Structure formats: C-alpha cells, structure tokens
Amino acid sequence: MERVPTGIEGLDNMIEGGFPRGRTVLLSGGCGTGKSIFGMQFLYQGAALHGEPGLYVTVDERPELTRQDMLRFGWDIKKLEDEGKLVILDLTGTKTGVQSEEKYSMSSAMDIDRLVLKIMQTAGEIGARRLVIDSVPALGIRMKDEMEVRNMILKLTYMIRKSDLTAVLISEIPEQTMGAGPMKFSKYGVEEYVADSVILLHYIGMGTDTNRTLYIRKMRGTKHVEDIIPLQISTTGIKLVNPEEAFSV
Ligand SMILES: Nc1ncnc2c1ncn2[C@@H]1O[C@H](COP(=O)(O)OP(=O)(O)OP(=O)(O)O)[C@@H](O)[C@H]1O
Ligand SMILES: [Mg+2]
C-alpha cells in the first residue's frame, strides 16, 4: 500500500510511513485541540515538500484568519496559493449567508449534490492529491435534519473514495472523560465507520507541560502505535513526542 507522508512530526513512523494513499482519515477532538492546525500542516507540508497540491475546505474559519494564524508557524499559505499548490475553498458563507470575496467560494443555501460537486470539481481543477474538510459538522449546520447530514457525509466519502484523494475530515466532539460512558468518535456517529482511519485529539487541562494528546483509534491496513501520544504545538506546528521522553523526570 502506498503511503502519504503526513507532515506531522513524529507521526509517520508510528503508522508505517504515512496515511494510506487514497483513503480518508477522520480527525476528531474537542475545541482548541489542534484539528485545524493538523489539517493545514498536512496540506502545507504536502504541497511544500512533496509537490502534492492540496485543497482546504473551510466552513468555520474565514480564510483570511487561517492564512494569518498559519504564518505563526512559518507557513506562507498565500505563496503556495499563488503557485497553484494550495487552494482554500471558502464555504463560510453557506453558514452565514455572507458573500465571500475569495476566488474559490460558495455561499448559497446548502444543496448536498451541489456542495459535494463543488468540492470535487475544485479538487479536480487544481489537481489536488490531498483534501481537508474543516469541518464536516459545520457543513451540515444548515441542513434540515440529521438524516440529511448523514446522507451528505455518505455521498462525500463515496466521492472521495472514487477519487484518488487522501482526505482528512475534521469533526468536533465534546470533551469527554475516558471511561465515563461509551466513547463518541464523531458528531453524527457515522463518520467513524465511513472513514478508514480515526484519530482523536485531546486536551487535558492538568497544568503540566504536556497536556495535549493524540490517539489513533483505527487505521485500516496499518499496524499503528496504540498508545496515547503526547502532542505539542510548537513554533513549527504540531509535533508528537515520544511518550518515554515526555513522561520522564
Ligand atoms: N502559534 C501557536 N503556538 C502554540 N500554540 C498555538 C499557536 N496557535 C494556536 N495554538 C494552540 O492551538 C489551539 C488552536 O488550534 P486549532 O485551531 O487547530 O484547534 P481546533 O481543534 O481546530 O479548534 P476549534 O474546534 O475551535 O476549531 C489554540 O487554542 C492554542 O492553544
Ligand atoms: Mg478548527
């Protein structure tokens, strides 16, 4: 199986070299756990280091703010956009109804088929190899019921699977205590089954240096680390820390 280097420092050697090519990864976590940074890092490094064009679909955050925030890690998104290696598709308008000034955008009311088509068309147009959707629940916010959202998720993952894109789908889950009732992996409870991999990000507010973690719940076709991995957000983005190193005194 071909592997896609993730661009996340320390992750590739825990998953046999990278994400399985052409498959989908569900990235779930509570607010502020680093989901968006992870998503952008995957695309930025893919475009900058591996020549793989990427498409970032944003529903929650305005592209302007994302570009600004990512500069903190030394990632010049605008430069890659100018070089045609990275595209931000602005779907914030589908939530707010406000017209976007971005080159790639869509702001009219939600129609599942148009939405999925727009994403796939944009990916095709730029020859994208990597796709990030930030986030899937936000895409569904204006839909009339959960059935419709599930239908959208199924269509979207079906289309992604048909393409050769390696995709990271971001989903929010409320912060939950391990062991307190059944674990939730996604908002609608279908994402984890349609995705080939599930990665969970956690923020544990314990006042120590290392209070963020990453956990690989599944990765089809891959022998992966099963420990809870300490994660840091540094000046160069997200990096995983060898557990022995992090907890040693
Ligand atoms: N330059 C930075 N250096 C260190 N930590 C940072 C930096 N920028 C952001 N962070 C941390 O990352 C968090 C935001 O990460 P990110 O936006 O990826 O989270 P998220 O999971 O997408 O959150 P949300 O659910 O709100 O979308 C911040 O709350 C902060 O703790
Ligand atoms: Mg986010």
Confidence of residue 188 (pLDDT cuts 50, 70, 90): confident
Residue nearest to atom 28 of ligand 1 (CA): 32
Q: For the chain, how many residues are written?
A: 249
For residue range 37-69, list pLDDT tens digits in order.
999 999 999 999 999 999 999 999 999 999 999
The finding on whether 32 has its CB within 6 A of some atom of ligand 1 is: yes
State in Å: Cα 156 to ligand 1 middle. 26
Provide the number of structural domains found in the chain: 1
Residue nearest to atom 23 of ligand 1 (CA): 32
For residue 246, pLDDT beyond 80: no
Listing DSSP states for 64-77 in one string gives HHHHHHHHTTT--H
Q: Which listed ligand is nearest to 37 at the C-alpha?
A: 1
CA 60 to chain centre: 12
Paired sense of beta strands 212-219 and 197-203, if any: antiparallel
Q: Which listed ligand is nearest to 58 at the C-alpha?
A: 2
Q: Which residues contact 246 (CB under 8 A, 6 or more apart)?
A: 210, 230
Its pTM stands at 0.94
State in Å: Cα 10 to ligand 1 middle. 19
Assign residue 179 the CATH number of its domain: 3.40.50.300
The finding on whether 37 has its CB within 6 A of some atom of ligand 1 is: yes
Residue nearest to atom 13 of ligand 1 (CA): 32
Q: Ligand 2 being an ion, which residues bring their Cβ within 5 A of it?
A: 35-36
For residue range 11-37, list pLDDT tens digits in order.
999 999 999 999 999 999 999 999 999
State in Å: Cα 33 to ligand 1 middle. 6
Q: Which listed ligand is nearest to 70 at the C-alpha?
A: 1
Average pLDDT, the chain: 91
Domain that holds residue 160: 3-247
Neighbouring-strand partners of residue 3: 20
pLDDT of residue 116: 92
For residue 167, pLDDT beyond 70: yes
